[in-house]
Amino acid sequence: MTRLEMFRIKSMWGNYTFDYACSLSRGRAGGLISVWDPSFFVKDQIWCDDWYIIVQGKWVNSDEVFFMINIYGPQESSDKIALWNRLLEFIRNHDGHYVIFGDLNEVRVESERYGIEFSRSAANVFNTFIDDARLFKPVLGGRNFTWMNKAGTKMSKLDRFLISQHVMDVFTDVKVTALPRGWSDHTPIMLHCDKVDYGPIPFKFFHSWLQRDGFNDCIKMAYNECSLINPHMPLHQKLKVIKEHIKCWTQQVKNVEIDRKHEIISKINDIETKIDSNIASEVEKEDRIKLLKERDDLQQLEDMDVVQKAKVKWDVEGDENTKIFHGILKQKRHQQMVQGVMIDGTWVTDPNQVKMAFHKFYKDKFDVLDSLMELPPMVPFATLSQEDNIELERPTSKSDVDAY
């Protein structure tokens, strides 16, 4: 890298405390460069290609391995397929957390293009790569498109972040926000963690509670406590008291179940060791069957909660692998979470301002006279006459039976 290029990086970065990896330009492509602060991210290994730069390293004070993949997507469909296949093979052969970013030069659905022909086959190949690599696309806040021509007649969502499920486990509040475009025809996008608090979450009721011992007693105890505190306590305050009792009860029950599950697994392992050595008694073999059933019952209660949270059904009945459902649950939580709203052309993420924007929107909607619904006059239901009612209630005689 030349001194001029180093000076340009220093000007953008703000100082000389940086490390970098670059891929030289090829033809009309200007090449790629990845820059990072070594006091926060420590590089272990680098792979460079015409279309991407992969930097393997670890964040300071963390033992987790991350692969930061900077991509500049090719134009030709055949080159795109080769790129996705190459990256997929790399991901399958290297364990770690993946963050893929850059100008991928491809869209997922037709709504991510405007004024440009949409290739469904290319989008299907791109989506297949994302699914096979088990990547997740965080919601972009602030913009619908990341590229725009000078005339504003063509737009596409070409720049994006794709992260692996493990990244969501480490950084639970990860978000992607579009920054001001500036002089470029591409919108800069930023991956960052921003924890927001929208207040108490809604009360949730899990089906598994009804199958656990002690739940009914917990509700009765909480309700009786409300009557003792204030016989005329409003319903919403009673629900708050009951909710606190349920939270304490579920925490105690789960702790007991976790300890019991560990105890069962330990006993099963001891018995199976004796069975393997042919020294187990018949009583121990019968105890093993009972322990297996108790373990499965505890696992089924856990699975019921995961399935209810993910709002999906088991693909195979009895499948105990809940990892996929935890992944679906986290993706749903990120996708459904309100990242922010546009207020007068400005992207706002402050919870109080977001709440006020929602309140104002629906208040204006309901205040408009055109939104008032006029129901048609109620059509009276057909009713039986008094004579018919008497006939239906009359005792059945033998002649009535013979008539049929």
What CATH number is associated with residue 164?
Answer: 3.60.10.10
Average pLDDT over residues 327-345: 70
pLDDT tops 50 at residue 314: no
Residues 16 and 160 in one domain: yes
Instruction: Say which residue, 364 or 126, is predicted with more confidence.
Output: 126
- List the structure tokens of 394: 């009359």
pLDDT of residue 124: 93
**Range name among 24-33, 42-51, 71-80, 320-329 with the lowest pLDDT average:** 320-329
Same structural domain, 170 and 254: no
State whether 11 and 59 are in the same domain.
yes
Global pTM reads 0.59
Read off the pLDDT band of 39 (50, 70, 90). Answer: confident
Confidence of residue 351 (pLDDT cuts 50, 70, 90): confident
pLDDT at 104: 92
Strands, DSSP E only, in 227-340?
Answer: none
> Do residue 184 and residue 212 come from a single domain?
no
pLDDT above 70 (res 401): no
Residue with tokens 């018919």, as numbered in its chain = 388
- Shared-domain flag, residues 131 and 94: yes
Mean pLDDT of 227-241: 83
User: Looking at 1-5, 16-20, 290-294, 345-349, which range is the least confident one?
Assistant: 1-5
Q: Note the pLDDT of residue 15.
A: 64
Ranges 40-49, 74-83, 179-188, 302-311: which has the least confidence: 302-311
- Residue 5, pLDDT > 60, answer no
* Residue showing tokens 């008694």: 281
User: Does 403 map to a domain?
Assistant: no
Q: Which residues pair with 161 in a beta bridge?
A: 101
Rg from Cα positions in the chain: 31
Kindly state whether residue 377 falls inside one of the protein's structural domains. yes
Structure tokens at 106: 């491809």
* Structural domain total, the chain: 3
> Across residues 95-110, what is the average pLDDT?
92
Question: Where a domain ends, among 193, 216, 239?
Answer: 193
Q: CB of 176 within 8 A of CB of 107?
A: no
Question: Could you report the per-residue pLDDT of 56-95, keeping only the tens digit for each?
Answer: 999 888 888 999 999 998 888 899 999 999 999 999 999 9
Longest dimension (CA), the chain: 112
Residue 151 lies inside a defined structural domain of this protein: yes
Contact status, residue 179 vs residue 187, Cβ threshold 8 Å:
yes
In terms of phi and psi (left: phi > 0; alpha: psi -120 to 50; beta: otherwise), the region of 380 is: beta
> What pairs with residue 282 in β-bridges?
none
**Do 289 and 167 fall into the same domain?**
no
Q: Are residues 186 and 223 in the same domain?
A: no
pLDDT in tens, 171-225: 777 888 888 887 788 989 988 887 776 676 667 788 888 888 889 999 889 888 8
CB 297 within 8 A of CB 261: no
The whole-number pLDDT of residue 266 equals 92
Is 259 among the domain residues?
yes
Same domain membership, residue 13 and residue 162: yes
Q: Do 346 and 332 share a structural domain?
A: no
Q: How sure is the predictor about 391, in pLDDT bands with cuts at 50, 70 and 90?
A: confident
Q: Tell me, what's the pLDDT at 315?
A: 44
- The verdict on 187 and 238 lying in the same domain is no
Phi then psi for residue 161, to 5 deg, are: -110, 140
Top mean pLDDT of 230-239, 302-311, 364-373 is at 230-239
Which comes out higher in pLDDT, residue 67 or 389? 67
Q: Same structural domain for residues 378 and 262?
A: no
CA 366 to chain centre: 32
Range of the domain at 230: 207-336
pLDDT confidence tier of residue 317, bands split at 50, 70 and 90: very low
> What is the model's pLDDT at position 365?
79
Mean pLDDT across the chain: 82
CA pair distance 285, 377, nearest whole angstrom: 72
| Residue 110 CB contacts under 8 Å (≥ 6 apart), including other chains | 118, 120, 123
The Cα–Cα gap between 38 and 130 comes to: 29
Nearest to 110 by CA among 59, 140, 139, 145: 145
Query: Are residue 245 and residue 369 in the same domain, yes or no?
Result: no
Confidence of residue 318 (pLDDT cuts 50, 70, 90): very low
